[in-house]
């Protein structure tokens, strides 16, 4: 099976620039009900994933930081506590599954390391469930 089969392309993915603000991230997360958003730099390269936890830790550890002034903090100023690893578009399914065990989604990059989309854990689980059902029918 090819990873591209599971790919949600970049133009359908909610992502932010590392130069976006903390407030923009909070608003996007709220609007789309996400707990994490991939970051893509000005060259189109995957730059990490910002999570709700990262934003909460920044607020907790920054005296005076509130939602009202969160527009003053850029995402590249916030430590990413979880390092979501991307997968190459030509990687094996096993590589994808191993990453998905630890990540809600797996960023996908092309031959030039450019971000081209994500694979959500949901699609991987659905694929694995279908494989199990087929195997059970054969038995």
Q: Please state, in angstroms and as integers, the Cα–Cα distance from residue 104 to each residue in 42, 43, 50, 77, 133, following that order.
A: 24, 24, 12, 23, 23
Global pTM?
0.88
CATH code, domain carrying 61: 3.10.580.10
pLDDT in tens, the chain (139 residues): 688 889 999 999 999 999 999 999 999 999 999 999 999 999 999 999 999 999 999 999 999 999 999 999 999 999 999 889 999 999 988 899 899 999 989 999 999 999 999 999 998 888 889 889 998 888 7
Looking at the structure of the chain, the number of domains it has is: 1
Range of the domain at 9: 3-138
């Amino acid at each position: 099976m090819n990873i591209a089969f599971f790919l949600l392309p970049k133009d359908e993915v909610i992502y932010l620039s590392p130069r976006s603000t903390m407030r923009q991230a909070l608003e996007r997360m709220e609007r789309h009900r996400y707990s994490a958003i991939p970051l893509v730099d000005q060259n189109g390269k995957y730059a990490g994933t910002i999570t709700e936890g990262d934003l909460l830790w920044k607020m907790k550890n920054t005296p005076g930081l509130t939602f009202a002034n969160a527009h003053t903090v850029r995402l590249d100023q916030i430590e990413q506590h979880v390092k979501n690893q991307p997968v190459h578009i030509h990687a094996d399914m096993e590589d994808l599954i191993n990453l998905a065990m630890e990540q809600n989604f797996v960023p996908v990059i092309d031959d030039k390391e450019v971000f081209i989309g994500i694979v959500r854990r949901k699609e991987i689980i659905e694929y694995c469930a279908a494989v199990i059902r087929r195997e059970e029918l054969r038995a």
